[in-house]
Structure 1
Amino acid sequence: MPHIQLNQVSKSFKGVTIFENMNFTVEKGKIYGIIGPNGSGKSVLFKLICGFIFPDHGSVIVDGEELGTNKRFPNNFGIIIDRPGYIAGKTGFDNLKALALIRNKINDDKIKKTMKMVGLNPESTQKVKHYSLGMKQKLALAQAIMEDQQTLILDEPFNALDAESVENIRNLLRKFKQEGRTILLTSHNQEDIDILCDEVYRINHFKLEKVK
Structure 2
Amino acid sequence: MRVEQTMVAIEGVSKSFRGAEVFNSASMDVLENRICGLQGPNGTGKSVLFKMIVGLQRPDSGDIKLDASLKSSHADFPTEVGAVIDRPAYLGGLTGMENLLDLARIRRVVSRDQVAEAMEKVGLNPGTQQKVRNYSLGMKQKLSIAQAFMEDQRLIILDEAFNGLDDSSVERIRSLLHELQEDGRTILLTSHNQGDIDAVCDDVWKIDQGQLHRVR
CA distance in 2, matches of 1:204, 1:141: 27
State the Cα distance separating 1:71 from its structure 2 match: 6.6
Q: Write the mapping of 1:7-18 to structure 2, written as runs, cut at 5 A.
A: 7-18=11-22
Structure 2 counterpart of 1:85: 89
Distance 1:190 1:202, change over 3 A: same
The one-letter amino acid paired with 1:206 is G
Q: Aligned pair count?
A: 209
C-alpha change, 1:76 and 1:15, in structure 2 (3 Å) is: same
Q: Which amino acid aligns with 1:3?
A: M
> Once the two structures are superposed, what CA deviation does each residue of 1:2-36 show, in whole Å capped at 9, x if it has no partner?
21111111000111000011111111010110001
Distance 1:27 1:201 in 2: 12
- Residue matched to 2:24: 20
Q: Spell out structure 1 runs of 4+ moving beyond 2 A.
A: none
Q: Normalising to structure 1: TM-score of the pair?
A: 0.95
Distance across 1 between alignment mates of 2:67 and 2:215: 25
1:179 aligns with 2:183: yes
Q: CA RMSD in A?
A: 1.5
Q: Which runs of 5+ in 1 are unaligned?
A: none
User: Aligned residue for 1:31?
Assistant: 35
Tell me by how many angstroms 1:64 deviates: 5.2
Alignment partners' CA distance in 2, 1:49 and 1:72: 13
DSSP 3-state at the match of 1:3 = strand
Q: Give unmatched runs, 5+ long, in structure 2.
A: none
Identity of aligned residues (%): 50
1:106 alignment partner, SS class: coil
TM-score by length of 2: 0.93
Correspondence 1:1-212 to 2 at 5 A: 2-63=6-67, 72-212=76-216
In structure 2, what is the Cα distance between the partners aligned to 1:74 and 1:10? 21
**Structure 1: distance between partners of 2:114 and 2:142:** 16
